[in-house]
Chains A and B, each alone.
Chain A
Amino acid sequence: MIGRVAARLGGAVFVLWAVASITFFAVRLIPGDPAQAVLGGPGSQASPEALAMVRNEYGFDQPVLVQYLAQLGRLATGDLGRSYALNQDVGPLVLSQLGGTLLLAVLALALAWLLALALAAWSTRGGTVAARVGSGLETVAAALPHFWLATSLIVVFSIWLGVFPPVSTGGATGLVLPVLTLAIPLAGFLGQIMRESLLLALESPFVLSARSRGESERGVLWTHALRHASLPAISLSGWAFGSLISGAVVVETIFARPGLGRTLLNAVTLRDVPMVIGVVMIVAVVYILMTLLTDAATRLADPRLRLS
C-alpha cells in the first residue's frame, strides 16, 4: 500500500517536472524578445533604457540554462514566480481563474455523460433506424470544432432566439452556451464508445442469465449492461477532462469568459513564461487528481477490481 502511494507520488512529481521543463523550453526557445512583451507589446516602442532594466530585472540577459534552473528552483519551493506581462504573482492569479474553468469543465463533463448515456441507451434499443441515426449523430457531434459550434450557438440562441447571452459574465444563463459547446463534441466521443460496449454487453452471457432470472428489459439495461458499458467511458473521462481544459481556451475566448484558458492564450502570445508554466502546472495537477478519481470510479463500477 505504502509502496503504491510512493510510486504514485513519484510519478506525479516526475510528470510535473517534465511539464515544467517542456513548457519552459517550448516557450523560451521560440524566437522573440520577452522584454518587448513586458513593456507593452503592440504599438509601444520601448526605450533602450527600459529594455535594459527589464532584461536585468527578469534575468533575460542570463544564459537560457541559468534561467531554466532558476525557474525550477523557484518551482521546487512552491513559488510560481511573477508574470512578465501582468506584473503580478502567478500563483494567486492562476488560482483565481481556476474556479471558473473547473466549473465549466465539470458541468460540460456531466452534460456530456448525460447526453451520451441517453443517446446510447436509445440507439441500442430503438431498432436499426435508431442505431443508424444515433451513430450518425455521434460521429457528427464528435467532429464539430469548438469555434464553429460556439459561433453557431451564439447565432441561434443569442441573436435569433435571444434566450441566452453571447457573453458569459457569470450568472447561470451565461454558462449555458459555453457548457453546450464543450459538451456536445465530447458527448459524441463518449457515446460512440458507450454504444459499442453496450452492444457487446447486451450480447454477453451475464445479460442472458439476468434475462433468464426474469429481470425486466429496463433492469437489464440499467443495472447490468450499462454498468459494464460505462467502464471504458469512465477511464476515458480523465483524458476527456484534459481535452475540456484545452477546449476552454477557445470557448473562454469566444464567450469572453474569465478563466485559465484565456489566461493561457494571452500568456503564450506574450511569451509570459512564468504565467504559461503556472497555468500548465495547475492543469497538470488537476489532470493527475482526475486520473486518480477515474481510477477510483472504475473500482466502484467494476467489483472485479475491488477483489484484487
Chain B
Amino acid sequence: MRHPARTHRLLAATTGIVALGLLVAGCTPTGSNEPIGEPQDGGTLTYASGDAEPSCLDPHVGGNFPQALVSAQYLESLVSRDDAGQIIPWLAESWTPSGDALTWDFTLRDDVTFTDGTVFDAAAVQANIAHLQDPTTLSSTGYLALGKVASVEAVSPTVVRFTLSEPDSALLESLSQPWLAMESPTALERSQDENCASPVGTGPFIVESWVKQNAITLVRNDDYTSPPADAAHDGPAYLDEVIWRFIPDSASRYAALQSGEVDVIDNAQPDTIVQAEQSDSIDHLDSPRPGAANRIELNSGQAPFDDVRVREAFIRTANVDDAVSSLFQGTATRSYSALSSVEATAVSNAAVFDYDPAAAAELLDDAGWNETDADGYRVKDGVRLSVEFPVSTNQSIPAEQSVFEQIQATAKETGFEVKLAPLDLSSWYAALASNDYDAVSAPYTKVGPDVLRILYHSDSIVPAPSGYFANLAQVSDPEIDALLTTAARTTDADERRDLYTDAQNRILEGFYLLPLYDQQNHYLLRGDVVGLRTLPTVAVPTLYDAWLNR
C-alpha cells in the first residue's frame, strides 16, 4: 500500500538529491524534477492494462480483477478502507449493528445522484443487492460475499437495513469491494448487454464509449460529490478524459509508456520495474493486493503430503529466499504469512519456514522415505517421492514460474521429484477439480482476513458443482474450523483479531502452505502524472485525485 505522506517526503528527498547532482554536473533540472505546484485541471490520461479486457464493464456480472480496475473509475461502494485497514465512510455515512449483530442500519449520504440523474437512496441499495443476488445476473464474487445477507429493506430514503442469517464480521469488508459497487437502479433495468456496455454509477468518471479490443473512453463527471473519506480533494476530478487501453504484451506495454504514448501501465514485471527505477521520467507504485499472500499450498488430503513430516521436509528443502531475490530482482519481499502484508491481522512467522536441507533429510528418513532410486529420488515401498505441481500460466507470471523451477531444483537435492506442469487456465482448473495435484499456487484477492475461512475451513474442501474448491491445501482440522467460524461471527475487533491470530499460527505450524510473497501489483507511471494512488480496498488505482503536470 502506498502512503502518500511518506511518498511525498521520499519524492522531495529524491528531487533534492537529483537537483544537487545536476547542479554539480552543470545542468538545469527539467521535466519531472520541477517542483510540483497546485493541481491543474484538464487533459487526457491514457491507461494501459495488461489484464484481459473484461467482457462486461458491470462488475456485478462475474466479478474479476480486470473489472475492478476499470470500474473503480466510475462506480463507488457503500464503504471503503483506509491505509491502516479501518473501514471508512463512502456512499454510506455511518452504520450501526444491532446487539445480536443480525441487523445493520446504514445511513446514506443524501446529496448523491447517479450520472443518469437517478437519486442514490435506500431503494437504490436494495435494488443493487437484489441484482447481485439474482442468479440470472451470474455474479460470482459479489454473490459469495453476500452469502449471509438474508434481506435488505429501506427504512427511510436515507436509511437501509441489512438483515443477516448469521453474524458476519466481514460484512463491511465485503461491501467495500468494487464487485459490490452501487449502480443506478434505472440503468440496471436495461438488458444485461446494455448494462455491460455502459454501467451507470456515482463515480468521478462516466463510461462514454467502449470499442472492443481497442479502448474504453471515460469522461469526467462534472457533478461529482462523493469522494471516499480518504481522498485528497473534493469536487470533480482534475482529468477531462481517461482512455483505458489493453496492451497484453509486457514489453510493448512498457515501450508504450517509455515513448509517452500511454501515461500509466499495470502488471509491470520485475525486469521492467528495475529498468523503470533507473529512469528519471518514470515512477513506480508498488501496491500489494489484499487477502491471501501468494503461496504454494501442499495437498494434505493425499500421499505424500498427508504426512506432516513430508510437508515440513518439503518446506525445509525449498530455498525460496534465494529464488525470490534473484528472480524478482529485489521487486518482491519474501512473505512468511498466509495473509497479504496489507492485512492488519496478518501473522508472519519466519522461523517456521527456515531453509534446512539436513533437517529435511532427517524428516524424510523418519517418515519412511529412506531409500533412494537410481535417479537420486527418495522411495518408499517402491513408490517414488513425487509432487505433482500444476502451474497456471495465466496466473503465475514468468518470474514466478522460474521460482517454482528453483524450488524444483533445490527439492531434488533432498530427493523430491517435483513435476511442474504448465497449464492454461481451464486445464489447470480441471487438474484441481480431479484432485490431480500435490502442490499448487492459486491467488485469492479479498478484503480482510475472512479469506482464511474460504481457504482453510474444511467446508471449502467440498467441491462446488464445477468441481472447484478453494481449500486447496485440503486442511481439515476441527480446531482451525472452530476458530475460523467463531471469528467470522465475532464483531468485537480485538476478539476477532485474537481468533485469526490463533487460526493462522495453527495453519502455519501445520506446514500446509509455503508463503512466497504478497500478490504482486506494480504500476508504472510517467513522472508528470501526479496524485495517482490505489484504493486500499483491493489495490486498484483511482484516477480521481490524479492530474497532469504538463
Contacts and interface: CB of A to CB of B under 8 A. Distances in A.
Find the residue from B135, B261, B425 having the highest chain A CB count within 10 A: B425
Given A39-B140, A87-B196, A30 B427 contact: yes
A23 to B, nearest CB: 16
Contact of B255 (A46, A166, A259): A166
A255 B213 CA distance: 12
Given A44-B64, A45-B468, A256-B245, A53 B426 contact: no
18 contacts: A33-B433, A40-B67, A41-B425, A43-B443, A45-B140, A45-B468, A48-B465, A87-B196, A154-B252, A167-B255, A170-B214, A254-B251, A256-B247, A256-B249, A256-B252, A258-B211, A259-B213, A270-B426
Contact of B214 (A51, A258, A271): A258
Interface string B168-211: 00000000000000000000000011001000000000000001
Nearest to B138: A50
Contacts of B448: none
Nearest to B63: A44
A246 to B, nearest CB: 17
A42 to B, nearest CB: 5
Given A154-B251, A154-B252, A159-B258, A47 B136 contact: no
A170 B394 CA distance: 28
B248 A256 contact: yes
Contacts of B426: 30-34, 36-37, 269-271
Interface string B129-171: 0000001101111011000000000000000000000000000
Given A38-B138, A87-B193, A93-B212, 6 more contacts: A32-B430, A45-B141, A158-B258, A158-B259, A159-B259, A167-B252
B424 A256 contact: no
B244 interface: no
A258 B466 contact: no
A274 to B, nearest CB: 14
Nearest to A30: B427
A47 B255 contact: no
A155 interface: yes
Interface residues of A, number: 55
B64 A40 contact: yes
B45 to A, nearest CB: 16
B28 interface: no
A52 interface: yes
Nearest to B214: A258
A126 interface: no
Find the residue from B246, B248, B249, B395 having the highest chain A CB count within 10 A: B249
A36 B55 contact: no
Interface string B89-123: 00000000000000000000000000000000000
Which are the 4 A-B pairs with shortest beta-carbon distances? A32-B426, A40-B62, A258-B213, A166-B255
A86 interface: yes
Nearest to B68: A43
B355 interface: no
A262 B213 contact: yes
Contact of A42 (B214, B248, B395): B395
Contacts of A96: 212
Contacts, number: 172
Contacts of B429: 32-33, 36
A46 to B, nearest CB: 4
A154 B427 CA distance: 33
Contacts of B135: 47, 49-50, 53
Contacts of A254: 249, 251-252
Find the residue from A36, A40, A155, A258 having the highest chain B CB count within 10 A: A40
Contact of A269 (B56, B61, B251, B425): B425
Find the residue from A86, A167, A270 having the highest chain B CB count within 10 A: A167
B138 A53 contact: yes
B52 interface: yes
A96 to B, nearest CB: 8
A41 B52 contact: yes
Contact of B55 (A42, A47, A85, A256): A85
A139 interface: no
A166 B256 contact: yes
Contacts of B214: 169-170, 258
A165 interface: yes
A33 to B, nearest CB: 6
Find the residue from A35, A44, A155, A263 having the highest chain B CB count within 10 A: A44
Given A47-B144, A87-B56, A254-B252, A167 B470 contact: no
A17 B169 CA distance: 57
Find the residue from A39, A93, A259, A271 having the highest chain B CB count within 10 A: A39
B65 interface: yes
A256 B245 CA distance: 9
Interface of A: 30-54, 85-88, 93, 96-97, 151, 154-155, 158-159, 162, 165-167, 169-170, 253-256, 258-259, 262-263, 266, 269-271
Contacts of B65: 42-43
A37 B211 CA distance: 22
A12 B258 CA distance: 48
Interface string B203-241: 000000001111100000000000000000000000000
A47 B138 CA distance: 8
B425 A42 contact: yes
Interface string B20-61: 000000000000000000000000000010001101100001
Nearest to A155: B255
A298 B252 CA distance: 40
B445 interface: yes
A85 to B, nearest CB: 5
B255 A39 contact: no
A232 B139 CA distance: 56
A30 B424 CA distance: 10
A256 to B, nearest CB: 4
B138 A269 contact: no
B16 interface: no
B5 interface: no
A266 B249 CA distance: 13
B467 interface: yes
A155 B445 CA distance: 35
A287 B248 CA distance: 28
Contacts of A45: 140-141, 144, 468, 470
B383 interface: no
B493 interface: no
Contacts of A158: 255, 258-259
B351 interface: no
Given A47-B140, A52-B465, A255 B62 contact: no
B166 to A, nearest CB: 18
B140 A33 contact: no
B139 A47 contact: yes
Contacts of B430: 31-33
Nearest to B463: A48
Nearest to B434: A31
A272 to B, nearest CB: 10
A41 B256 contact: no
Given A31-B426, A32-B427, A256-B246, A46 B213 contact: no
A53 B248 CA distance: 31
A87 B467 contact: no
Given A87-B56, A167-B252, A167-B256, A53 B466 contact: no
A130 to B, nearest CB: 35
Contacts of B465: 48, 51-52
